[in-house]
């Protein structure tokens, strides 16, 4: 299975970890939680979270996610993204990667080792 990443404020993920389950606001509004593949993380962070003070990319193991995961292009921009159609158990987190800014102020996310 392909690795998924969810971009989130570290404090929000920490709060979810205490509950054992993560529910993004989009789950109630759109019916799913937005995720990215590794090569999509930085662009997504810069497009949707440019003004955020702190971000992390939570690396998720799909084997621990019971909810359906669909890869789809819902915005018709020619690029498909993974969406999780239910809450994410925090035990699905394999790693938490802090996002950093480059000298221009853009979010960057390097290749995983």
d(CA 81, CA 90): 20
* Tally of domains in the chain: 1
**Residue 107 located in a structural domain:** no
**Residue 109 located in a structural domain:** no
**Residue 49 located in a structural domain:** yes
pLDDT tens digits, one per residue of 21-75: 999 999 999 999 999 999 999 999 999 999 999 999 999 999 999 999 999 998 7
End-to-end CA distance of the chain: 17
Q: Is the pTM of this model over 0.95?
A: no
Taking alpha carbons only, the member of 63, 59, 62 closest to residue 112 is: 59
CATH number at residue 39: 3.20.170.20
Q: How far is residue 96 from each of residues 18, 70, 80, 83, 103, measured CA to CA in Å?
A: 15, 22, 23, 19, 23
d(CA 50, CA 27): 21
């Amino acid at each position: 299975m392909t690795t998924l990443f969810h971009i989130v404020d570290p404090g929000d993920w920490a709060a979810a970890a205490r509950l054992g389950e993560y529910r993004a606001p989009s789950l109630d509004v759109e019916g799913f939680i937005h995720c990215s593949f590794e090569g999509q993380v930085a662009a997504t962070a810069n497009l949707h979270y440019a003004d955020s003070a702190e971000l992390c990319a939570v690396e998720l193991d799909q084997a621990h996610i019971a909810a359906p995961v669909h890869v789809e292009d819902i915005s018709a921009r020619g690029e498909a993204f993974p969406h999780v159609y239910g809450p994410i158990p925090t035990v699905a987190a394999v790693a938490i990667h802090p996002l950093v800014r480059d000298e221009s102020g853009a979010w960057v996310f390097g290749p995983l080792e």
